[in-house]
Amino acid sequence: MPNTVIMGAQWGDEGKGKVIDIYSADADYVVRYQGGNNAGHTVVIGKDEFILHLIPSGILHKGVICVIGNGVVVDPKALLDEIKMLESKGIRVGKRLLISDRAHVILPYHRRIDELREQAKKKIGTTKRGIGPAYSDKISRLGIRMVDLLEKDTFAEKLRANLDEKNPILEKIYGTEGFSFDELHAEYSAYAGEIRKYVCDTAVILNEAIKKKKRVLFEGAQGTLLGVDYGTFPFVTSSNATAGGAATGTGVGPSRIDKVLGVVKAYTTRVGEGPFPTEFSPDLMDAIRKKGKEFGATTGRPRRCGWFDSVIVRYSVMVNGIDGIIVTKLDVLDDLDSIKICAGYRFGGKVYRDFPSSIDVLNRCVPVYEEVPGWRKDTTAVTSHSGLPANARGYLKRIEALVGTKIVLVSVGSDRKQTFRKGV
């Protein structure tokens, strides 16, 4: 397996957890390169369901080394809880987890500020996990890194400086209580003691592994249209969810990455606020949401659902340099008589084939749909592309033509086994 990036090509929740789990079977290292515990990657193995927020999905494969890169913001308590969850289910973490010493730490004041900002202004749809404020501190050069957390004097100095800034904001602007230095220092010093054994310079380790021809899989979180640069700003996350984030978030140069794969659903979903041109009517929304179990793995919030939007996926193919896409949840469309595909947006007398940056255009545009016949057959037991109903194969072929790249894998259920390579 070449060194490969797997990332979301829509608004997140595309089924990346399952896909990364499948590809991890052929990997030596699996690396998370951005986001934090606002991600929720779900993997179903038989009767067991694993929901991972920070640790890469490759942890479910024996012998795979999992890395949390420098581009990730890490909540130590959430991380330790996740390790305990895996251990309780018989998944040994041990020396198979590495954390970049340059990754930034989420602290309680980040979560508090995140929640207060969401209440005080027009909603963005944040998970309130402190992700945005932690990235803000990183860019403002105020953040506390893993290496800082592990150095006693450095941590005390930086924590005190942060509280000197954050507590007046909490008290005078938001009218709420600040944080105690002694309490936070004691709590997070204890976390440091537990996490220390995982922390190292992961950039060095990954580059040495690549020199030795080890296989590295880069795991993206969220999706391209939630990325801070190419998403529906400001209704986005605070990191680069594109393939480019794999280089900046791990210390592995782009010339060392061989392939980029994008994951898409056979329809479209998004969680939280923001424009969504192809959103379903309420009745169809309810039916697809129930069949697809479209509730957030991290927040439990119901996902908004809509028709497949080739405009956003074609844009993702371009900005990520996607070599192939994986289509998940094809089976959710099994009961429909006909299926729509968005091929463009009409606004102001113009038809947009490329994804517009204007939120006003996205909020007011009218999707230009193509309609194809449904297949009205259960696909959950299908094990090959040729075994799909003819209309399902036709649907996938049309998606390929509209987005400008090939489909390499198709998923027709949540289990590992309900997946097959296209053309096989």
Q: Which amino acid appears at position 395 of this protein? A: Y
Is residue 360 annotated as part of the catalytic site, yes or no? Answer: no
CA distance 113 to 179: 12
Marked catalytic residue, from 13, 309, 323, 331 = 13
Short-list 412, 375, 413, 409, CA closest to 392: 375
* Secondary structure (DSSP) of 290-340: HHHT-B-TTT-PBPEEE-EEHHHHHHHHHHHT-SEEEEE-GGGGTT-SEEE
Query: How many whole angstroms separate alpha carbon 35 and alpha carbon 195?
Result: 19
- Kind and range of the H or E run holding 48: strand 48-52
Q: Is 357 exposed, middle or buried (0-12, 13-18, 19+ CB in 10 A)?
A: exposed
Q: Residue written as tokens 């941590």?
A: 155
Q: From CA 228, how far away is CA 235, in angstroms rounded?
A: 9
Which residues lie below 8 Å from residue 186, measured CB to CB, with a gap of 6+? none
- Residue 388: count other Cβ atoms within 10 Å of its Cβ: 22
3-class DSSP assignment, residue 277: coil
Q: Are strands 338-347 and 308-309 parallel, antiparallel or unpaired?
A: parallel
Q: Could you say which DSSP state residue 387 is in? A: G
Residue 410, helix vs strand vs coil: strand
Active-site hit among 21, 28, 41, 323: 41
Residue 61 falls in the annotated catalytic set? no
Q: Is 106 helix (H, G, I), strand (E, B) or coil?
A: coil
With contact defined as beta carbons under 8 Å apart, do 237 and 227 qualify? yes
Active site residues: 13, 41
